[in-house]
Amino acid sequence: MENKQDIPVIGVVQVLQMLKGGKTREEIRVHYGITKTDLIQLFKHKDLIGKKTIKVKAPTFTVVNDEAPIDVKEIEVEEVEEVIAPEKPATMEIVDDTTLKAEVTEKREEAKSSWV
């Protein structure tokens, strides 16, 4: 017969903590030194039925304390005067339509008189 000292005492809360910490059932079995059959009996306890290993995931972000003062160094900025050459304004010429028509008509008449 086994002595009571040889039988491991396994707490349900401890097993739940190990599962939460990412330990597998096999790792728990090895930790307590029990057989696979004993492990099956352990997880038939009413508080351990259906409990599985919770995989610890690394966060995909970094948390910072945004209330802490941030050490900001002031940088001296040298003022530079920027000289930009002014653009030439677009030149527009407003032309009277009647003047253009008159010039074109006069040129045509000169051509006709020279044909004869």
> What's the rounded Cα separation, in Å, for the pair 54 and 22?
5
Each residue's pLDDT tens digit, 27-69:
999 999 999 999 999 999 999 999 898 887 777 888 877 775 6
Q: Domain locations in the chain?
A: 9-56
Does residue 26 have a pLDDT over 90?
yes
In contact, 65 and 31? CB cutoff 8 Å? no
Q: How many CA atoms lie within 13 A of 3 on its CB side?
A: 2
> Quick one: pLDDT at residue 7?
81
Provide the CA 67 distance to its chain's centre, in angstroms.
23
Tell me which DSSP letter residue 27 carries.
H
What is the mean pLDDT of the segment spanning 89-114?
Answer: 54
Query: Which structure tokens are listed for 63?
Result: 């948390």
> Quick one: pLDDT at residue 5?
66
pTM: 0.46
First-to-last C-alpha distance (Å) of the chain:
146
